[in-house]
Amino acid sequence: MSVYRVVGGNRLQGEIKVEGSKNAVLPILAATVLNKGESIIENVPELNDVITMLRILESLGCRVEYKDQSVWVDASNITSSEMPANLVKQMRSSIILLGSLLGRTGRVVSTYPGGCAIGVRPIDLHLKGLRRLGAKIDMQGQIVCEGETLKGTEIQLDYPSVGATENIMLAAVLAKGTTIIRNAAKEPEIVDLQDFLNSMGAKVYGSGNHIIRIEGVGKLHSTRYSVIPDRIAAGTYMAAAAVTGGTVLLKDVVVEHLHPLIDKFKESGCEIETNCTRLRISAPKQIKAIELVRTLPYPGFPTDAQPQMMAAMCTAQGTSIFVENIFENRYRHVDELTKMGADIKVDGRIAVVKGVRRLNGTTVLAKDLRGGAALVLAGMVAEGTTVIEGVEHIDRGYEELGNKLKSLGADITVI
């Protein structure tokens, strides 16, 4: 198991290309099984979650190649509808294959998915949606979904769940008739999935708004598609610049996706310039506290950037209040930040962060992906050396976080 050793105190400076989006590429890879042909997907980040998804696709009978950020999937022959339990347990996003595999083969068998332990993370909305499309689902021991002919229908989601919206979209692509999803998630990754599906002949409309319409089609065709940049990775590098008083140019971003973050970083005293696909963030020596960070579905402040923003606020001037509205167990980084000297009080969904003069390096444990990234950021401003264990969580969702921060001047060693 590797660890990060971070020596604090360096101001970040330089430029970095933002990787392709983890949360966009995983459902897109799941979508490739709908197509009895080839998909070429570009701008694919090198992440453990991506490798796990490719292994699952191979176990289903797909031929897969991954080279130079480009993935080739040939899903002409699907030979199995049973998802391998050991891989499914490694990654929550494997649940997205329920919709696509059901759409393609009419049957899926899966164990319950794993992933970050940031909350209960039920899948009731996914299953409710698939049942509305006509699937029969048995939940005894494992999940068995059957539905030879899915039929388009109207589905009102009780909550705009990202995963449930994706699963229903995927199952509806080859269904008979038209499916309408109301109160759908509006995240940019949903729009990217729509664009990918349409690039292979699907008829999906409305993503990015709360109503999505999917007209079922008989078959799909081969495609080549490039994944959107990762807005959460971009936000992490923005937080890294902010916390170290640095200046960083991010290349290959979609500025529109970053507005919920840009607004907060401006409030903290950072200057931000944007130009097409570039964003430059310049931070003062010490940032100011942000009054209120409330996580919400897009276009609200993303829950996936909450831990990194909290790390930045630990040494800001003043007091910040965080309200985590999406996941009930998403403050697992707080104890570790506190070990480093942060002043954070948590009461349920609320965390009050009082900026302190300095953090101190010590050994801390990454317990989940974004919480792990937050500890790396805290280590970059702490006095002395911080050792971060549990780096495997970080590697699930960041492409070489340590080395990229190092290229900007951070003193980080991956051991």
In the window 171-210, what residues touch ligand UD1 (CB under 6 A)? 185, 189
For residue 121, state whether it binds ligand UD1 (rule: CB under 6 A): yes
Binding mask 342-381 vs ligand UD1 (x if CB under 6 A, - otherwise)? ----------------------------------------
Is 116 tagged catalytic? Answer: yes
Distance CA 307, CA 19 (A): 20
Q: Tell me: does residue 125 bind ligand UD1 (CB under 6 A).
A: yes
Identify which range of 54-62, 116-124, 142-150, 202-210 contacts ligand UD1 by CB under 6 A: 116-124
Interface with ligand UD1 (CB under 6 A), residue total 23
122 makes contact with ligand UD1 (CB under 6 A) = yes
**Is residue 104 a contact residue for ligand UD1 (CB under 6 A)?**
no
- Of the candidates 62, 116, 145, 314, the residue annotated as catalytic is 116
Name the 3-class secondary structure at 235: helix
Nearer residue to ligand UD1 within complex by CB, 87 or 326: 326
Residue 258 has what DSSP assignment? G
With binding defined as CB under 6 A, does residue 124 bind ligand UD1?
yes
Residue 153 binding ligand UD1, by CB under 6 A: no
DSSP-H helix ranges across 200-325: 231-244, 259-267, 306-313
| Of the candidates 344, 346, 379, the residue with the CA atom closest to the CA atom of residue 361 | 379
Residues whose CB is less than 8 angstroms from the CB of residue 282 and which lie 6 or more positions away in sequence, other chains included: 241, 246, 247, 270, 271, 272
The only residue of 23, 35, 105, 268 in contact with ligand UD1, by rule CB under 6 A: 23
Q: Which residue minimizes CB distance to ligand UD1?
A: 163
Q: Identify whether the C-beta of residue 245 lies closer than 8 Å to the C-beta of residue 381.
A: no
Cβ neighbours of residue 293 under 8 Å, at least 6 residues apart? 264, 301, 306, 309, 310, 313, 320, 321, 322, 323
Tokens at residue 119, please?
């909350």
Residues 6+ apart with CB under 8 A from 317: 286, 287, 288, 289, 355
- Spatial CA neighbour of 69 closest among 9, 106, 25: 25
Q: What is the 3-state secondary structure (H, E, C) of 143-184?
A: EEEECCCCECCEEECCCCCHHHHHHHHHHHCCCECEEEEECC
Please tell me whether residue 156 binds ligand UD1 under the rule CB under 6 A: no
As measured in angstroms, the least distance from the Cβ of 174 to ligand UD1 is 22
Q: Which of 77, 156, 159, 345 binds ligand UD1 (CB under 6 A)?
A: 159
Parallel, antiparallel, or unpaired for β 319-323 and 292-294?
A: parallel
Classify strands 70-74 and 271-275 as parallel, antiparallel or unpaired: unpaired
Q: Does 300 bind ligand UD1 (CB under 6 A)?
A: no
Q: Contacting ligand UD1 (CB under 6 A), which of 25, 164, 184, 233? A: 164
CB of 349: closest distance to ligand UD1 in angstroms?
A: 11
223-242 binders of ligand UD1 (CB under 6 A): none
Minimal distance, residue 92 CB to ligand UD1, in Å: 6
Rg over alpha carbons for the chain, rounded to the nearest Å, is 21
32-61: contacts with ligand UD1 (CB under 6 A): none
Contact positions vs ligand UD1 (CB under 6 A): 23, 26, 92-93, 119-126, 159, 161-164, 185, 189, 303-304, 326-327
Report, as residue numbers or ranges, the catalytic residues.
116
